[in-house]
Amino acid sequence: MSRRRRYVRRLSEAEVRELKKGERKARTLGERNRIRIVLLSAQGLAIKDIAGLLSVSVHTVIRALNRFERDGIVGLKEGRHTGRPPKIPP
């Protein structure tokens, strides 16, 4: 049984520029990886290949693509976390 390949929709030049800019300015590795996942998918790489290239799970790739399709570029940014904020010793 063959599986249908899944890619993000075709990205405009403005979206690609914004994603590349966001990749450089990302505050966390997770945020940077989510942006890379979208860019690699737009280039035609399969989910399994992206997961191997970035050393993340297939599930992580699928979640990132779903977030992008649902919320756009804003959905790739790191959200607020619950819990106590980290303390940095003086």
- Quote the mean pLDDT of the chain: 87
pLDDT digits (tens, 9 = 90+) for 18-49: 999 999 988 889 999 999 999 999 998 999 99
CA distances from 21 to 2, 40, 47, 58, 81 (A): 36, 15, 23, 25, 24
The pTM of the full predicted model, rounded to 2 decimals, is 0.80
- What integer pLDDT is reported at residue 4 of this predicted model? 58
